[in-house]
């Protein structure tokens, strides 16, 4: 340094090897190590802006998809080999024309913010059977398990499977699809992606995902082809009880005449023949028949068998689903007619309501009208039938419900009124929309 015009003496050789204190380092050395303060501020500000933009994009993307309960991510881009063996990449952002699709795998964030990967090889659970056969009960019991999520009926999956079966049965339509390049491989890939996305995204993430749409098991063999690790539960119930419940609760099913017990029993017989045969084709390691009456009479041993079949560990919560419903742990549809029943503990109320309600001529011809009753192990001539003796656990639940009849009846009435209000509102909106579309524009 220069002080008063004099140059400071040069350091001696003995002191030249000592480190120079930071405060005495030359300005050039400090500027080489650190950026100027304004530049550092801009770098930090830019990094913060990029982070904020990423978080906003992630959150808004999940909101636009309708999934407000957890962040979701779609699968990364994929590729196929072109005609000249070149890689052709495709993802959800490619400019598709009219026909689009989602990848057949992906990742969602679980309840504890862990990544849950999903693809066609995951061990899905499919619950099926005739409506009013206990499909809602078994899905609610499984929903009570912390590792399983079934959720409400999607309604769209069985319709899509039915449409696929209609195409397959028409040689002309099959040829048209082939001419359009829609081969079986293309169709199966599209069906797999669609069904998987619906199951994964219509409810909360969970280690084991489950679908309950009663008529899906009419295509159980095809579903197993699409999802080779899936397992199936076929709910079986006395056909007389099923038909009585369908008619008295006015459950609308295509092709069923709700004023004719004989016709409904024949339709039940045909549907169960198809589903039961497909379950038998898959074998006992893939498809398990579950008898509604035995599940109600002996819930714990049957639930133990079901969970063991599904490779799901036992949890006592499956015996007390009504407690979790009250805590909003199980999602119920306000429009499903079984909702007002499954809010109760497992009980015996619905087992034999059909006795004495079926016309005498139908009862007399029951063995011919519904031969699947005998095939499934029921006595078609037993009125009332003997399903077995209930466990004490179920007896206590039933007695408790009888003591609280007024309270349960009020809850059932409230749900029924809410359901009717929703339906009337939907009909009113439809009428208004139709009237608006018919109104001529000036």
Q: Are the C-beta atoms of 134 and 292 separated by less than 8 Å?
A: yes
Comparing CA positions, the residue from 170, 308, 161, 137 lying closest to residue 227 is: 161
Comparing CA positions, the residue from 290, 287, 284, 285 lying closest to residue 302 is: 290
Question: What's the first-to-final CA gap in the chain, in angstroms?
Answer: 92
Q: How far apart are CA 338 and CA 334, in angstroms?
A: 9
Comparing CA positions, the residue from 298, 394, 286, 302 lying closest to residue 349 is: 394
Q: Which two tokens stand for residue 137?
A: 């009960």
Tell me which H or E stretch contains 64: helix 37-64
Q: How far apart are CA 31 and CA 349, in angstroms?
A: 85
Q: Which two tokens stand for residue 248?
A: 């008295």
**Token pair 């076929």 in the structure block, residue:** 234
Q: Which two tokens stand for residue 134?
A: 């206990």
Pairing of strands 72-74, 78-81: unpaired
Comparing CA positions, the residue from 362, 385, 360, 359 lying closest to residue 374 is: 385
**Alpha helices (H) along 312-404:** 321-326, 339-342, 360-364, 366-369, 372-375, 392-403
- Which listed residue (2, 86, 114, 153) is catalytic? 153
87: helix, coil or strand? Answer: strand
**Alpha helices (H) along 219-289:** 220-226, 239-248, 261-282
CB burial of 63-75 (b: ≥16 within 10 Å; e: otherwise) equals: eeeebeeeebebb
Q: Are the C-beta atoms of 235 and 135 separated by less than 8 Å?
A: yes
- 86 catalytically annotated: no
| Chain Cα centroid distance, residue 324 | 18
**244: CB partners within 8 A, 6+ apart:** 261, 353, 354, 357, 358
Q: How far apart are CA 337 and CA 248, in angstroms?
A: 11
Q: Are the C-beta atoms of 321 and 415 separated by less than 8 Å?
A: no
- Residues with a catalytic annotation lie at 153
């Amino acid at each position: 340094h220069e002080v008063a015009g004099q140059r400071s003496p040069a350091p001696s050789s003995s002191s030249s090897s000592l480190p120079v204190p930071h405060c005495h380092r030359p300005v050039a050395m400090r500027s080489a190590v650190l950026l100027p303060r304004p530049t550092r501020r801009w770098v930090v500000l830019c990094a913060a802006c990029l982070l904020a933009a990423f978080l906003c994009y992630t959150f808004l993307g999940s909101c636009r998809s309708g999934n407000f309960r957890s962040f979701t991510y779609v699968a990364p881009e994929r590729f196929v080999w072109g005609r000249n063996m070149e890689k052709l990449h495709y993802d959800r952002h490619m400019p598709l024309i009219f026909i689009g699709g989602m990848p057949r795998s992906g990742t969602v964030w679980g309840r504890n913010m862990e990544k849950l990967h999903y693809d066609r090889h995951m061990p899905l659970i499919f619950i099926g059977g005739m409506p009013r056969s206990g499909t809602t009960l078994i899905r609610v019991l499984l929903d009570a398990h912390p590792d399983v999520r079934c959720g409400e009926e999607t309604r769209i999956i069985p319709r899509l499977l039915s449409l696929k079966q209609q195409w397959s049965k028409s040689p002309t339509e099959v040829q048209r699809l082939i001419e359009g390049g829609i081969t079986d491989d293309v169709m199966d890939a599209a069906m797999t992606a669609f069904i998987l996305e619906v199951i994964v995204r219509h409810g909360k993430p969970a280690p084991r995902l489950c679908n309950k749409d009663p008529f899906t098991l009419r295509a159980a063999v095809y579903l197993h082809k699409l999802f080779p690790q899936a397992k199936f539960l076929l709910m079986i119930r006395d056909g007389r009880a099923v038909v009585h419940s369908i008619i008295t609760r006015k459950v609308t099913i295509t092709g069923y005449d709700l004023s004719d017990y004989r016709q409904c029993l024949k339709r039940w017989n045909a549907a169960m023949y198809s589903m039961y045969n497909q379950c038998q084709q898959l074998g006992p390691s893939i498809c398990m028949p579950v008898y509604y009456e035995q599940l109600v009479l002996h819930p714990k041993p049957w639930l133990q068998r079901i969970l063991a079949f599904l490779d799901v560990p036992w949890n006592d919560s499956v015996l007390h689903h009504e407690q979790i419903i009250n805590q909003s742990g199980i999602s119920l549809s306000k429009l499903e007619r079984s909702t007002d029943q499954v809010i109760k503990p497992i009980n015996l109320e619905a087992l034999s309501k059909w006795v004495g309600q079926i016309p005498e001529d139908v009862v007399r011809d029951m063995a011919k009208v519904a031969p699947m009753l005998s095939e499934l192990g029921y006595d078609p001539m037993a009125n009332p039938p003997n399903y077995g003796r209930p466990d004490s656990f179920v007896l206590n639940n039933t007695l408790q419900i009888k003591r609280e009849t007024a309270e349960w009846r009020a809850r059932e009435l409230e749900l029924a009124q809410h359901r009717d209000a929703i339906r009337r509102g939907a009909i009113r909106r439809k009428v208004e929309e139709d009237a608006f579309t018919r109104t001529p524009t000036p």
